[in-house]
Amino acid sequence: MTATTKATITTTTTTTATGELLRVSGLRKVYGSSGGATEAVRDLTFATRTGEAVCIVGPSGAGKTTLLRCIAGLLPPTSGEVVLEDRPVAGPPEGMAVVFQDYARSLFPWLTVAQNVELPLREKRVAKGERRRLVAESLEAVGLADVPGSYPWQLSGGMQQRVAIARAVAYEPHILLMDEPFAAVDAQTRADLEDLVRSLWTRLGITLLFVTHDIDEAIYLGQRVLVLSSRPTVILEDVAVDLPDERDQLTTRNDPRFQELRTRVYELVQRAKRGHRPASEVTLS
Amino acid sequence: MTSLTAPAAAPGAARETACEAEPPAARLARYGRRLAVLLGLPAVLAAVWWIVSERAENFFFPPLSDILSAFGPTWFDGRIAADLLPSLGRLAAGYLLAVALGVALGVLIGTWPSLRAFAEPVLEFFRAIPPPVMVPILMLFLGIDTLMKVVVIVSGAVWPVLLNTVEGVRGIDRPLRDTARVYRLRPLTRLRTVVLRGASPQIVTGARQALSIAIVLMVISEMFAANNGLGFSIVQFQRGFALPEMWTGIILLGLVGLALSLIFRAVEATVLAWYRGQRRAQRGGNR
Amino acid sequence: MRKALLGLGGVAVLLVLLELVPRTSLVDERYLPPFSEMAGALGDSANTGEFWQALADTLQTWGLGLVLAFVAATAAGMAIGSVSALREATASTIEFLRPIPAVALIPLAVLLYGTGMEATLILVVYSSFWQVLVQVLAGVGDIDPVARDTARSFRFRRRTRALRLAWPTTLPYAVTGFRLAASVALILTITGELIIGTPGLGRLIAVAQTSGAIAPMYAFVIVTGLLGVTVNVLARLLERRVLRWHPSVREEAAA
């Protein structure tokens, strides 16, 4: 449905000499409260190249959302830094779009579908004709060309999440962050949306950072899977997904290599749940 | 709370097509029935009042026919311009000022949690003061001019707007705030498109409470000290034992209250159309 | 904890301002006496029987009016709400009568009862009645249709249906109506006393104003404010207690 749409939404990305787009180094986040401090994220370091699809998995409560909010500039880290396109992130940076888990609550219920997609473009001072084109194209790309005048609450959950994705795509970001975006939709819709994200990523050449607790989803979507430890969070392992770029729900998931990767990541997550920590950290502390 | 199977089309669509298929006679009958339901009881009550008051020899309840025939001479010979319009003018000025002030302060206080914690007990106290007691106090400062009456209305009507706005601003969902930040919406856009719209259901609730308080204060301030106005006229009639005229004043005041509440409802229906739709969709999805 | 301290700070700042603004002659002391004088005036009147009598009168008018309105409105609401023909027929009349400001009745009340307590009582009952009635009607309308059909199919008697089905669904709405009515009733009680001159705190304020006793006037205004806060807090507590099991309260408590 979407693969046939011509990709006219383009992105131009400033790339450093090393091809690095995002660098997270020594990220630490401690929540202070009157009852004492909670260390959510201890020490996270990783980088993504331009155009890469990186998935982050970890046991529930591993601080995945904290990490993502730090990268998005919504939450100041306690120490360490996030650098996007050579600029340190302090507050939401330009060229970044985020799709939140809570699709119903991240769309403005008083704006129509088209207005929701258009609002960020208006703020970027995109010219009117260009705006109209981007809105139409992005809605078509997510298969919602026929409901621009509807309100979000008139749509099903899966369709609402498509609107959020269209809004992110129309924004023409260099990097797209997704925080467990499909956690609340049913299994069939979820598979459709995974294919949608995968095809948009292939066509637009954007960098994708996808947080999920679903191991299969992480392997299916990513070129790399970062496995997080339990709290306080560090990276347990960086697993390369050496599957062909052409993927589909049936053949990819039945690929023996997919199964192996899945077993590998599954074991890592299980170990993380039991409180296993990487060797490097033990020697450090 | 979100529905996975909410209807994709607007809920009203099915009903509209049903109406088109209806034969004209049936539609006429339906309108007739609705009109009967709407006006039936009021007509009966008016008739009962008419008949009972006609026969009764009670000084305080003059015949309805007397009241109605007194209505024209009482109000249409200059009192509309001399009393009703000044009253409505003061009401409009005071009410609109109160809403503007309440929303502005409410947004400010709702945005800063520390400021809210600091101000809340004081604000709750001011809201709890029965508004009419502000009349004697403000008379000290401002005399009995129009300004006093407008300030009295503001002083009573501002609190429900303010406190509801604070609640509304505080209650805006975090995902919406995050979205506004991620897409780098400018402060003015954030205020207009996110904060004010997001808090609008609570703002409207506050504005509705404020409207009835404002009407009360309009009347009270005129009863207390004035030389024109609706409240002033009614008290004059009462003191002069002009009973039919007094009753016309009460009825006119009732009509003013009714008209204002109808206007308010029309505004509310436009401003909060999205909210009603969302609520309906959520409730439909939960059943 | 921090929140409570900040709140206390806010009150303290208000009191200090009330003391300093008149003392520094920013505002004429004849119009706004320093807070210490208001407090002193309150202390003086607390030693008089007149003040306590007025407080008792106010509470009596308020309580009586509230109870009368609540009982009448609940009964009327349950009766009207459970018969759909009645509901339809009365809708327009209720919508017409409800926005009529109670103060419109003041002249009539004065003619009928002079400065007797009943004059204010009429205003209190009239204004509180609509608050409760509207809530109760909404409550009866909110009865789960499945539960209603179930009760019908088991051929519950009318009395059983009312007791087991209509009342539990309506109760939360009635209690909310009671809370709203409680504060409206207080406003109208004080208003009636102030304008008509029926016995109570409102009349004390009017008397203090006409006799130029400014500090006592402010003191009585503060008392009415504190009374209002007390009524709000108690009504909210009552609502919570009665509706502990109700989802809206549980959500509010969790937030």
What would the pLDDT profile of C82-141 be if each residue is shown by its tens digit? 787 888 888 888 877 887 888 888 888 988 898 889 999 999 999 999 989 988 988 887
Whether residue B41 sits in one domain with residue B112 = no
pLDDT at residue C187, rounded to an integer: 92
- With 90 as the cut, is the pLDDT of residue A242 above it? no
Which of A89, A101, A106 is the best substitution to test chain B (most B C-beta atoms within 10 A)? A106
pLDDT at A3: 41
* Minimum CA–CA partner of A112 in chain B: B274
Which residues of chain C carry a pLDDT beneath 50?
248-255
Task: Pick the residue of A123, A162, A167 with the most B CBs within 10 A to test the interface with B by mutation.
Answer: A123
Task: Note whether B234 contacts C224, CB cutoff 8 Å.
Answer: no
- For range A86-101, the mean pLDDT: 87
Q: How far is CA B240 from CA B27, B139, B223, C194, C220, in A?
A: 52, 25, 14, 21, 32
The shortest C-alpha distance from B186 to chain A (Å) reads 7
CB contact under 8 A, B281 and A159: no
Distance CA A193, CA A159 (A): 10
Query: What mean pLDDT do residues A56-81 have?
Result: 85
Q: Does domain C51-254 have CATH number 1.10.3720.10?
A: yes
State how many domains chain B has: 2
Distance between CA atoms of residues A40 and A75, nearest Å: 12
Whether B206 maps to a domain, the answer reads: yes
pLDDT in tens, A159-202: 898 899 899 988 888 899 998 888 877 888 888 888 888 888 88
- Return residues 244-283 of B near C (CB < 8 Å): 246, 249-250, 253-254, 257-258, 260-261
**C-alpha–C-alpha distance, residues C251 and B139, integer Å:** 45
Using DSSP, state whether C25 is helix, strand or coil.
coil
- Report the predicted TM-score, pTM, of the whole model to 2 decimal places: 0.83
* Tens-digit pLDDT profile for residues A190-212: 888 888 888 888 888 889 999 98
Looking at the fold, whether B204 and B98 belong to one and the same domain comes out as: yes
Determine whether the interchain pair B181/A97 forms a contact, defined as Cβ–Cβ distance below 8 Å: no
Asked if A159 is an interface residue toward chain B (Cβ–Cβ < 8 A), one would say: yes
Q: Which residues of C151-178 are buried (b: 16+ CB within 10 A; e: fewer)?
A: beeeeeeeeebeeebbeebbbbbbbbbb
Rg (CA), chain C: 23
Q: Average pLDDT, stretch B236-265? A: 88
Q: Does B238 touch chain C (CB under 8 A)?
A: yes
Contact A74 B282 (CB under 8 A): no
Scanning the structure block, which residue is given the tokens 């099991």? C245
Q: Where are the domains of chain C?
A: 51-254
pLDDT value for A19: 75
| Percent with pLDDT over 90 in chain A | 14
Whether residue B144 lies within 8 A of chain C, CB to CB, comes out as no
The predicted pLDDT at position B286 comes to 43
Residue among B5, B179, B275 whose CB faces A156 most closely: B5
Whole-number Å distance between alpha carbons of C205 and C28: 20
Note whether residue B63 is domain-resident: no
CA atoms within 13 A on the CB side of C250: 4
Residue B2 pLDDT more than 60? no
The confidence score (pLDDT) of residue B76 equals 85
What does the mean pLDDT of chain B come to? 84
pLDDT at position A280 is 61
Contact B118 C106 (CB under 8 A): no
Give the Cα separation of C79 and C71 in Å (integer): 12
Q: Quote the DSSP letter at residue C105.
A: G
Query: pLDDT confidence of A111, banded at 50, 70, 90?
Result: very high
ipTM score: 0.84
Which of B1, B5, B182, B189 is the best mutation test for A, with the most CBs of A within 10 A?
B182
- Report CB contact under 8 Å: B223, C187: no
Provide mean pLDDT across the span A229-249. 80
B151, B93 Cβ separation under 8 angstroms: no
Q: What is the mean pLDDT of residues B130-154?
A: 89
Q: Shortest Cα distance from C129 to chain B (angstroms)? A: 15
Query: Is residue B125 pLDDT above 60, yes or no?
Result: yes
Q: Find the domain containing B240 and state its range.
A: 70-286
**Interface probe with A: pick from B183, B189, B268, most Cβ of A within 10 Å:** B183
**Beta A53-57 vs A224-228: how paired, if at all?**
parallel
Mean pLDDT of A65-91: 87
* In the predicted structure, residue B214 carries a pLDDT above the cut 90: yes
Chains that touch B (3 or more CB pairs under 8 A): A, C
